[in-house]
Amino acid sequence: MTSRDETTKYGAALPEDDFLLEEILAEYGGGREQKLMRDVEHELDPLKKMHPQPPAPVPETPKAPKEKKPEKPVLPEPPKPLTLKDVVGDTVDAVMEENRENILPPKRSLFSRRKLEETEQLYDTEAVPEPEPEIMPEPIGPEKDLYEAAAENRLQMQSARSTLLPAFLTALVPVVLMLAEQVGGLVIPYWTGDIGVQSIVLLTCLLITSLLCRQVFGYAVRQVRTRRCTCELAVCVSALVAAADCVACMVSETRTATPPYGSAAVLALAFAQAGVFRRYRGMYDTYRAAAIDDAPPYLVTDTARGACKQRGAIAGFYTAAEKPDTSTLWQAALMPVVLVGSMVFAVLSSFGQGRGGDFLLNWSVILAAGATFSMPLSWPLPWSKLTAHLQKTGCAVAGWSGAEAISRRKSMIVTDADLFPPGTIQLNGVKVYSEEMRVAVSHAATVARAAGSGLERLFDGLLRSELGHYETLEDFSFYAEGGWSGTIRGESILLGTASFMKKMDVRIPTDINLKTGIFLAVDRQLTAVFAVKYQPSEHVDFALRMTQRSHITPILAVRDPNITPQLLQRKFHKGVRVQYPDITTRVALSEAENDRDLPRALLQREGMLPFAEVVAGSRRLCQAVRRSVTLSLLGSIVGTLLAFYLMFLGSYALLTPMALVAFLLLWTLPVLLMADWTGRY
């Protein structure tokens, strides 16, 4: 085999980019590739014998210049014989073509002069990774001043309250008369057996109640403008249809001789007015508590791990509070079906049965059964109960949006100051080894301040009493074993629990047995021991019990190595259940101080108790509202179908006006009980 330094038969040197068989073996090395090379060499043996390589030319010595002879004509170059390079290339290409299915194809032929083309891109070293999409914050619309919002809701609340009692008294007039007649067996003059008088009395009560409950009509119209069909609209339509049926009862001769069902419609108006009053009262209490301070000490936001108490801005509270509640959204989806279904059922049960004169009668019954008494109270009543309770503690929740976001994950993040507020951590004594008291306290206070734990306040007071000063700390680190480390003026400082010191190979005297002691070591030598005592607070104990009853799990985002689940069980009730994540997670959760989203609640007081009341109350509110809405919608559907069935059969004697009122009141009782349960925790 020729080398690069050898020449060809005609004395021309091989090109610079020629390849040798060693290079071929280097690129196609391996079992099958080596076999291919052996086949190539076997085919090249006859060619080597036919075309032996000439010896290298010997350089000639320079001779004297001769006379220039006439140039000979240039003859055409003889045909170039097949070179070793061409033979090797053609042979390898042919063999590789036959075995293309078993051998990965190269990006180009070994001796090809074409430019290298990329057939597969594994990765791009110059490509810059695309940044992760940022989470867009919720938009904040134009917000009113909280004082103005509270004043507006106060005026609406007072207006609704002034007409609420007269509306109920007016609505109870026909109910009391029917109750005395059917249950007491009394014969009431000008009422008993006189359908015309009953129609006049019911029509009068409907007109008076409609005037008193005009806020219900106004609220229904505003919801329609926002393309929402709520129960207030169904109540208003029910009152209008019942009034039309009273008129038809007096003037129509084809109508069935049965008393009008306006008593259910007029009582539904009174319950809807109560819902409007409770709605405005809840918003007034919320805005009044939120407007106490333009910069509240804390606000509550929702994070991936649960509700978190943070410091942030109040902007966005009004926007979150004005968002529609789940009751309104569910009603907007199902109440149009109830309204349209009641009309269709009324047509089927009247015109479909050949009783066209009973259309208004049947529609008023079916519509009154679908517009339940409980539905207007499913959200406002629990909401007003919660806000009245939180307003006394200086807290405010941003409506359904805030309550649902806070209680979604059934957990809350608590820190050192929440569990042991200032004044509950005390120092029982200090013992110093081979170091001055002032220097030891300076080292401990510097590390405690860098850690940001609840011990910072304790060591700061001790540092002031010893006339010490903070040092410059470098290379600060947290340890999962329960301590911290750093460097002060080239000395290694360790501060933590006894178990942390043992794991860091720091010798501790056997006569020291402190469960909540803090130990200081300099260059792995014990320097000082601080006896720390943790005093339990009654408010914290009550808050932990509250979270336990409400099935809310506190997550310990603490930096103090002594605050563990075992310490909480010793200091508080033994049934406390908390989450204790790893040190990295605890530090990350404790650093969540900036507002990430809209404020879900505002806290005007320090401590864990207001925080726990907001989270537990929000969870109870969401549970009560969901159950109330579900029960109310179920009652509406059942009432609509049952009324249609009885009206279709013409069983007016079975479904009397008093029976319909009793049916609607029975579906309202559970909602009242669940609303009262909201404020009891």
How would DSSP label each residue in 286-315? HHHHHTT-SS-SEEEEE-SSSEEEE----T
Q: Is the confidence at residue 129, as pLDDT, over 70?
A: no
CA pair distance 9, 12, nearest whole angstrom = 8
Q: Is there a single domain that holds both residue 371 and residue 460?
A: no
Compute the 3-state secondary structure of the chain and give helix, strand, coil in percent, each to the nearest 5: 55, 10, 35
Q: Is the confidence at residue 200, as pLDDT, over 80?
A: yes
Q: Is there a single domain that holds both residue 326 and residue 383?
A: yes
**Domain presence at residue 141:** no
CATH number (domain holding residue 511): 3.40.1110.10
Q: Among 20-29, 73-82, 410-419, which range has the highest average pLDDT?
A: 410-419
Q: Is there a single domain that holds both residue 390 and residue 460?
A: no
* Pairwise pLDDT comparison (203 vs 252), residue with the higher score: 203
**Which residues, 6 or more positions from 61, have their beta carbon under 8 angstroms from its beta carbon?**
none
Element (H, E) at 637: helix 608-649
Q: Is there a single domain that holds both residue 170 and residue 299?
A: yes
Lowest mean pLDDT among 28-37, 311-320, 498-507, 549-558: 28-37
Q: Specify the pLDDT at position 244.
A: 95
Lowest mean pLDDT among 169-178, 309-318, 334-343, 627-636: 309-318
Q: Supply the range of the domain harboring residue 445.
A: 425-534
Domain count along the chain:
3
Lowest mean pLDDT among 47-56, 154-163, 424-433: 47-56
Helix (H, G, I), strand (E, B) or coil at 132: coil
Q: Is the confidence at residue 21, as pLDDT, over 80?
A: no
**Domain presence at residue 191:** yes
pTM of the model: 0.74
Q: Is there a single domain that holds both residue 338 and residue 435?
A: no
Burial annotation 545-567 (CB, 10 A radius, 16+ → b, else e): ebbbebebebbbbbbbbbbbeeb
**In sequence order, what are the beta bridge partners of 483?**
479, 496
Lowest mean pLDDT among 75-84, 419-428, 620-629: 75-84
CA pair distance 580, 582, nearest whole angstrom = 7
Lowest mean pLDDT among 7-11, 57-61, 266-270, 512-516: 7-11
Q: Strands across the sheet with 483-488, in order?
A: 425-432, 525-534, 517-522, 491-496, 483-488, 474-479
- The tokens for 338 are 């109830």
* Pairwise pLDDT comparison (472 vs 120), residue with the higher score: 472
CA pair distance 501, 525, nearest whole angstrom = 10
Give the residue-averaged pLDDT of 576-602: 82
Q: Is there a single domain that holds both residue 281 and residue 345?
A: yes
Task: Yes or no: say if 564 and 596 are a contact pair by the CB < 8 Å rule.
Answer: no
Query: DSSP secondary structure string, 45-101?
Result: HHHHHHSPPPPPPPPPPP----PPPPPPPPPPPPPPPPPHHHHHHHHHHHHHHHTTT
Q: Is there a single domain that holds both residue 356 and residue 477?
A: no
Radius of gyration of the chain (CA): 45
**In sequence order, what are the beta bridge partners of 556?**
414
Nearest to 618 by CA among 321, 420, 376: 321
| 644-676 residue pLDDT tens | 999 999 999 899 999 999 999 999 999 999 988
Q: Is there a single domain that holds both residue 406 and residue 433?
A: no
* Pairwise pLDDT comparison (110 vs 212), residue with the higher score: 212
Q: Is there a single domain that holds both residue 258 and residue 401?
A: yes
Label the pairing between strands 601-603 and 395-397.
Answer: antiparallel
**Domain presence at residue 559:** no
Q: Specify the pLDDT at position 593.
A: 63
CA pair distance 225, 232, nearest whole angstrom = 13
Q: Specify the pLDDT at position 141.
A: 65
| 33-74 residue pLDDT tens | 455 456 645 554 544 444 444 444 444 444 444 444 444 444
* Structure-derived torsion over alpha carbons of residues 290, 295, 296, 298, reported in degrees to the nearest 10: 130
Q: Among 39-43, 200-204, 318-322, 392-396, which range has the highest average pLDDT?
A: 200-204
Q: Specify the pLDDT at position 142.
A: 75
Q: Specify the pLDDT at position 181.
A: 85
**Domain presence at residue 271:** yes
| 519-546 residue pLDDT tens | 999 998 999 999 999 999 999 999 999 9
CA pair distance 544, 308, nearest whole angstrom = 16
**Domain presence at residue 388:** yes
Task: Yes or no: say if 578 and 555 are a contact pair by the CB < 8 Å rule.
Answer: yes
- The tokens for 207 are 């007109």
Q: What is the DSSP letter of 379?
A: T
Domain boundary among 484, 503, 534: 534
Task: Yes or no: say if 270 and 167 are a contact pair by the CB < 8 Å rule.
Answer: yes
Nearest to 268 by CA among 319, 227, 230, 234: 234
CA pair distance 177, 452, nearest whole angstrom = 71
Lowest mean pLDDT among 122-131, 456-465, 602-611, 644-653: 122-131
**Angle, helix 359-370 to helix 231-251, in steps of 10 degrees:** 150
**Domain presence at residue 623:** yes
Instruction: Spell out where 125-186 has E strands.
Output: none
| 174-196 residue pLDDT tens | 999 998 888 877 888 888 888 88
Lowest mean pLDDT among 135-144, 151-160, 273-282: 135-144
Q: Specify the pLDDT at position 61.
A: 42
Give the residue-averaged pLDDT of 155-183: 92
Q: Specify the pLDDT at position 412.
A: 93
Q: Is there a single domain that holds both residue 378 and residue 433?
A: no
- The tokens for 379 are 């959200």
Helices (H), strands (E): how many in the chain?
Answer: 22, 12
Rounded to 5 degrees, what angle do the CA atoms 584, 586, 589 make?
Answer: 110
* Pairwise pLDDT comparison (337 vs 574), residue with the higher score: 337
Q: Specify the pLDDT at position 360.
A: 94
**Domain presence at residue 68:** no
CA pair distance 229, 330, nearest whole angstrom = 10
Q: Is there a single domain that holds both residue 303 and residue 372?
A: yes
Domain boundary among 33, 50, 67: 50
- The tokens for 29 are 């090395």
Task: Tell me the one-letter amino acid at 8.
Answer: T
**Domain presence at residue 570:** no
- The tokens for 50 are 């036919």
CB count in 10 Å sphere of residue 123 = 6
Domain boundary among 492, 516, 534: 534
Nearest to 56 by CA among 115, 3, 92: 3
Q: Specify the pLDDT at position 64.
A: 42
Q: Is there a single domain that holds both residue 211 and residue 313?
A: yes
